[in-house]
Amino acid sequence: MATSSETLVGAPDYWDAQERTFDALGSGAFDLVVFRVGYAGGKTLLGSDWIHMVATQHPGSDNLVMAPDYQKGGPATYKTFLDRLPGENTVPAAGGDPENSPIIEEYNRNERRLTYKNGSIARLGSADKWNRYAGSEFNAIWCDEPAHYDNTDLYDLTEMLTSRQRTRQGPNVMLWTSTGAGFNDYYEITEKQDDADGNDLPWADRMKVIVGDSRNNPFLPEDAHEKLRRQFEGTDREAQALAGGFAAPTGRVYSDFSRERHVVGPDAPNPVPDLRDGWRCYGYDHGWSDPRVVLEVAQTEYGQLVVLDEFYREGVEYQKAVAWLTENDKPAGTVHAEHEPEHQEAFKRAGYRVEPAIKDLDEGIPAVRDRFDWRDDPESRPGLLIHERCVNTIRELQDYKEDEVGGAGATDHAADSLRYVVMGVDEPGPQAGGVVMEW
């Protein structure tokens, strides 16, 4: 497929990172192409032009434009997409009509569907209900800002959408355009190239990631360049906002937690410390549509807690969590469990002591924070460590935000299990049976 301004409807010149993205899209070598860049890097313009290019070059093609949701997509993704059509006054939100474009036959506002003169279609979709596209086949798929697809499993979405790209005429490629946004699925896929279990991504060789720095965009006015530099250079947000990298989200619940200081393991920044023989406890958070979680926690001779392993599954009965302990010969210990009597009895029958979890958020969150930032230790050892195999726990801790605390949609299931353990160990009540820290 040809690239750049020769083939795109009304297209301008592009800067280097955009040109490299078009080259990758047209190479036929990749299933997923990612354009990761800072603010004002031309992400949405590139995605819009690419979909119009595919639609005009492949008559009768079916193409998908996906925003985080319809509300966010209106003033951003969809507006730019329709504005990039040739012709005047093509944006409905500004009083125009896409049918004013000479290449458009019809715009169905209710179904959010654009039909081109050559029979091609572009659908304006949203990631919050991505399963609605399971029955379609798409020539080109563009996901705008997938790093911000809140409450959407990016692994599941990618698997489903990629499987829908099997058209005869091609190009059968998916494009992601986004900044970084914390250490979520987008980070795991595009930066670490890990699957959902923390293993090597099996299709990494079919993915191309192009990273661009907004400061290298020559089409930005100089005053815009200066404003970006003033706001972000030298700050914690520089990597994300300018360089196409990642930064921790603002307003994190556990802002002191970091891979560099708290993650241990053979490939982690820190080795696994020596553990006390025979000391184990567990945190259990139950769920069904939400993940059901068990964390295995050990202790060092210095009183540090080390999360060694995790059971993290959704859509399974509680017996699966109990079986994970017994089938993997997890040592006996106390399970700090959700207040479900039937579940607690199952853990007891399996040979584990059970204590009802202390669930108070106002006390529990500060207790976990104190563990991550253990100021009283003379060797500056963290009071809480996470093994690198606990990928879901690490993801939650890196991305759990203050405005999500207590909310129904929060991804905090491993964080809750961890909180139950810390409170059970550090703040044992009368029900805790004397499970007290030994210093």
Domain boundaries, the chain: 4-241, 259-432
Lateral strand order in the sheet of 384-387: 263-264, 384-387, 305-314, 291-299, 281-285, 334-337, 353-356
Of 125-129, 176-180, 280-284, 309-313, which gets the smallest average pLDDT? 125-129
For residue 433, pLDDT beyond 50: no
Residue scoring higher pLDDT (82 or 379): 82
Q: Amino acid identity of 350?
A: A
DSSP percent split of the chain into helix, strand, coil, nearest 5: 35, 20, 45
For residue 416, the model assigns a pLDDT of 94
How many CB atoms neighbour CB 252 within 10 A?
17
> What value does the mean pLDDT of the chain take?
88
Mean pLDDT for 397-425 is 88
pLDDT value at residue 432:
38
Can you give the pLDDT at residue 437?
37
Q: At 431, is the pLDDT very low, low, confident or very high (cuts 50, 70, 90)?
A: very low
Q: Please write the tens of the pLDDT for every residue from 278-326.
A: 899 999 998 766 789 999 999 999 999 999 999 999 888 999 999 999 9
pLDDT of residue 74: 76
CATH number of 4-241, picked from 2.40.10.10, 3.10.580.10, 3.40.50.300, 3.40.50.150 = 3.40.50.300
Phi and psi, residue 78, nearest 5°: -65, -40
Tell me, what's the pLDDT at 385?
97
Has residue 434 got a pLDDT over 50?
A: no
DSSP 430: G
* pLDDT, average across residues 228-239: 86
The CATH number of the domain covering residues in 259-432: 3.30.420.280
From 243-257, 319-333, 376-390, the region with the lowest mean pLDDT: 243-257
How far apart CA 25 and CA 2 sit, in angstroms, is 9
Once rounded to an integer, what is the mean pLDDT over residues 204-211?
96
Helix (H, G, I), strand (E, B) or coil at 309: strand
Percent of the chain with pLDDT over 70: 94
Q: Where are the alpha helices (DSSP H) in 207-360?
A: 222-232, 238-241, 259-262, 318-327, 341-349
Q: How confident is the model at residue 12 (pLDDT cuts 50, 70, 90)?
A: low
Average pLDDT over residues 354-381: 89
Describe the strand order of the beta sheet including 121-126 as a list of residue ranges. 104-108, 113-116, 121-126, 62-67, 140-144, 173-178, 32-37, 207-212
Please state, in angstroms and rounded to a whole number, the distance separating the CA atoms of residues 69 and 126. 4
Return the pLDDT at 301: 93
Please check the confidence at residue 8 and state whether its pLDDT lies above 70.
no
Compute, in degrees rounded to 10, the torsion defined by CA atoms 370, 372, 378, 379: 180
Q: What is the pLDDT of residue 138?
A: 94
H helices, E strands: number in the chain: 14, 15
**Arithmetic mean of pLDDT, 391-406:** 87
What does the block give as tokens for 38?
């800072």
